[in-house]
Amino acid sequence: MFNSYQTLLQNLSTPEALPLLAKIQRGIEKEGLRVTAQAKVAQTKHPQILGSALTHPSITTDYSEALLEFITPVSTAISDSINYLSNLHIYTARNNAAEYIWPASMPCRLEGEESIPIAQYGSSNIGRMKHVYRQGLALRYGKTMQSIAGIHYNFSMPDAFWPLLQQLSAQQGDLQDFKSERYFGLIRNFQRHSWLLTYLFGASPVLDRSFFNSTFMGNQQGILEPQGENTLGLPYATSLRMSDLGYQSKAQNSLDINYNNLDEYLENLQAAMQAPYDDYEKLGVKIDGKYRQLNSNILQIENEYYSGIRPKRVPVSGEISSETLRREGVEYVEIRTLDINPFLLVGLDEEQIRVLDSFLLYCLLSDSAEISSKENNEIQSNLQKVILEGRNPALILQQGGREISFVDKAKTLLNKISGSADLLDRAHLDSAHLASAHSNTRYSAALAQQLVKIEHPEQTPSGIIMADIVNGFEFSDLMLKQAKRQQQYFSTQPLSYKVEKELQQQALLSLQQQKDLESQDADAHNASTFEAFLNASQPVCVSSVEQQKVVGSN
């Protein structure tokens, strides 16, 4: 396996291949709760000056009316993605000065489920459908779980890269089938190795005690320990967001959605969207003429499936993503395991992106056998151990049924990934300077910093947070302080006239687009009533709009 990877690294170190590796396409979706000066969820509506959350391409909401989501366009330059996120933060800070954006993944002080308003998208059929879908999430999992924020990282290789990789892999046949097959190999390797990313970038070792002030979350409190008067956590935890305290679903735990290939994945996903679930049927779909959820199936729509990584394709208008995915194959992958780093202005930085790209390229180029049930159990065990006690210097993981120290396993994996980092360093050199291939080492340097974190757990984001907690800070006080610092910074940063004008125009256009949708639905006759709309298009329209929010991501 490793020899095959090494061979590909060597064969890709050519003048023909290197420019393609410099054109990795990426997009970022970054969430953040709007909060008050008292570290409570803002009860205000999505600021109209930011535009329509339904139709704006870059500024929208996720589950809650207060949960902002910033979306970058596709870019091949890391600095462009970071700068775009920064501009969205600056624009929002200038136009919403009375509130702050919570800088952490775990939420602020909650005052029960009722303090988390469900996002509103207006009176159009599609807007109502998006709201009903979120009502269904509240019924099934509770609002508290939905208040957790994160960063999604969308990754793909340029089109011109794939014929070359197919040739180097000595594979024949349909190019898109090959592309989908390799992306699914990446996904399986990501599952095998994502524990490393959780350790390196996990930033949620603690949470506010109020997180458990709901019937959904109250019975989960027992595994945590007091870390202050109003703070709970675990001393060696890395990412409680990724634990059973985060995104959890009893119904989804019964699903057997595998990533052996695209057809099996879609077949499993489709079955879950068509399978009724008794507990959800008891909740009711339509009560007193009002919809409470879209349906009573295990998944209302495909986006409800919680997974650390997803194969994706931007859907054709009128189709759900899985239909387009089945016909046209995988276009990109979406990484969903990343916590927001509260000590970085936009939640992540260029160094982290370089590590992600190196990691994902390693996953793509390495051999990737199908995952057996035995291996899957080992994968899940390793991940949960790193989530709950990743910074424990005595941590032991499993590898092929044998015990191995976390430190040894992490160092070995980083050593393998270093080959991809070196390749990306070479790729980003100007073609005129290929002879001095080692003069640019930003990817390798970023990876070397991760090795320091293996040897010094206190330098991980979770370790830095825990140091402040140990020194007497409460989680919410610490994060509010950070939120105010970031608000102060962004509110004083310059924004070019061109960027500000573009964002203003996007906001105005999005508001008009929402009005147009609402007008069209209001003027329609019986065939376009909300119920007829659901019956005719469910789950097409929800999925399409949800997916269209990341069109700019890839």
Domain limits, the chain: 2-553
pLDDT per residue as tens digits for the range 243-259? 987 666 777 877 888 89
Q: Quick check: 153 and 26 in contact, CB under 8 A?
A: yes
pLDDT per residue as tens digits for the range 284-341? 999 998 999 999 999 999 999 989 999 999 988 777 788 999 999 999 999 999 999 9
Please state the φ and ψ torsions of residue 49, each to the nearest 5 degrees: -65, -20
Burial class from Cβ neighbours inside 10 Å (0-12, 13-18, 19+) for residue 290 reads exposed
**Which tokens in the block code for residue 51?**
């535009």
CA–CA–CA angle 484, 486, 491 (5° rounding): 95
Which segment of 27-31, 67-71, 383-387, 525-529 scores lowest on mean pLDDT?
525-529
What is the pTM assigned to this prediction? 0.94
Query: What SS3 state is found at 40?
Result: strand
CA–CA–CA angle 183, 185, 187 (5° rounding): 70
**Which pLDDT score is estimated for 223?**
86
Confidence of residue 366 (pLDDT cuts 50, 70, 90): very high
Q: Quick check: 542 and 129 in contact, CB under 8 A?
A: yes
Whether residue 65 has pLDDT greater than 80: yes
DSSP-derived secondary structure letter, 219: G
Contacts 24+ apart (CB under 8 A), 216-223: 216/113, 216/141, 216/142, 216/144, 216/145, 217/142, 217/144, 217/145, 217/245, 220/244, 220/245, 223/388
DSSP-derived secondary structure letter, 315: P
Whether residue 550 has pLDDT greater than 90: no
Query: What SS3 state is found at 272?
Result: helix
**Residue range 2-553, CATH number:** 3.30.590.20
Contacts 24+ apart (CB under 8 A), 75-78: 75/25, 75/26, 75/27, 76/22, 76/23, 76/24, 76/25, 76/26, 76/158, 78/26, 78/350, 78/353, 78/354
Q: How far apart are CA 275 and CA 298, in angstroms?
A: 6
Average pLDDT (7-15) is 96
**Which pLDDT score is estimated for 244?**
83
- CA-wise closest residue to 148 among 385, 296, 389, 337: 337
Whether residue 357 has pLDDT greater than 60: yes
CB atoms within 10 A of CB 367: 12
